[in-house]
Amino acid sequence: METVKSTNTWLSNFFLNIGDEVLAIKQTEGKGRRGNTWDSDYGGLYFSLVSPNNKLLPFITGISVVESLVEVKDNIQLKWPNDIIINGKKLGGILCESYGNYTIVGIGLNISNNILLSDAISLKDINYNLDRLDFIYSFKLNFNDNLSLSSEKILEKYTKLDFLIGKKIDWNKGSGIVQSIDVDGSLIVEVSDKIVHLYSEEVSIEKY
Ligand code: BTN
């Protein structure tokens, strides 16, 4: 589509089957996580698809995005729960929204759009020219492969990519050292010799 409010919202209204997908050139009301807006001007990638439910879907999507950015994948990391990071800055984000038996998976990637935030980066900034349709083709192959993996295997892949593991983080209610990711998708953090689990719906990481 040329312009849509949000590819996630559009699919939530009109999808019929698993695998239905929408790519937009521009969004006018792009949505981020936790009720944030997502800058969605020309030059970015705004893509959503309908997936079966899976509690590790944000990780499956993140891993599949990294695997599809073939030429730069060794420089990309994921930041729990679902930011895509390059050179320590945010290259893109993932928004998974559940509707009964289905989840709408939305991906936003900065390609050649102008970046408004100092902690964000685009592929243009690292001289990588990404063809959106090639990316989507490759993403869907990787996504379907990763969907069929066991939770253990998904976590094994994810923990190799996660940017926060081993780092000290501050969140809205505390601070600690990130140890790992649990099979329920929570972040395992050591806080003064105790282990706590952070859930993405409940916390917002403020410093890392
Ligand atoms: C985040 O990091 O906060 C998640 C951003 C997700 C943005 C994408 S762009 C395509 C899809 N449609 C939306 O409205 N949001 C997601």
Q: Which of 45, 47, 53, 121 is nearest to 84 (CA)?
A: 121
Packing angle, helices 151-161 and 57-68, rounded to 10:
60
Question: What's the whole-model pTM score?
Answer: 0.95
Q: Are residues 138 and 109 in contact, defined by beta-carbon separation less than 8 angstroms?
A: no
The rounded distance, in Å, linking the Cα atoms of 82 and 163 is: 11
Between CA 105 and CA 21 the distance in angstroms is 9
**Can you tell me which atom of ligand 1 is nearest the CA of 31?**
14
One-letter amino acid of 52: P
The protein residue whose alpha carbon is closest to atom 9 in ligand 1 is 108
**Which residues in 100-141 belong to E strands, given as ranges?**
102-109
Q: Which of the listed residues 46, 111, 117, 163 should we mutate to test ligand 1's pocket, taking the one with most ligand atoms within 8 A of CB?
A: 46
Atom of ligand 1 nearest to the CA of 29: 14
Dihedral (Cα; 183, 185, 190, 193), 10-degree rounding: -50
Which ligand 1 atom sits closest to the C-alpha of 36?
3
Per-residue confidence (pLDDT) for residue 207, from 0 to 100: 83
What is the Å distance from ligand 1's center to 192 Cα?
35
pLDDT digits (tens, 9 = 90+) for 92-110: 999 999 999 999 999 999 9
8 Cα nearest atom in ligand 1: 12
Distance, CA of 94 to CA of 103 (rounded, Å): 12
Residue with tokens 């983080």: 169
Question: Omega into 81 within 30° of 0, i.e. cis?
Answer: yes
Q: What separation in Å is there between the alpha carbon of 155 and the centre of ligand 1? A: 23
Q: What are the extents of the domains in the chain?
A: 3-161, 168-198
Mean pLDDT computed over 115-141: 95
> Quick one: average pLDDT of 170-197?
94
74 closest CA partner among 57, 86, 89 = 86
Q: Is residue 179 over pLDDT 90? A: yes
For residue 54, count other CB atoms closer than 10 A to its CB: 17
Kindly list the protein residues whose Cβ atom lies closer than 6 A to any atom of ligand 1.
6-8, 27, 30-33, 36, 38, 46-48, 83, 93-95, 106-108
Q: What pLDDT digit, counting tens, does each position of 133-176 carry?
A: 999 999 999 999 999 999 999 999 999 999 999 999 999 889 99
- The fold for domain 3-161 equals BirA Bifunctional Protein; domain 2 (3.30.930)
Per-residue confidence (pLDDT) for residue 201, from 0 to 100: 83
pLDDT tens for each residue of 9-24: 999 999 989 999 999 9
Average pLDDT, the chain: 95
Structure tokens at 54: 């899976």
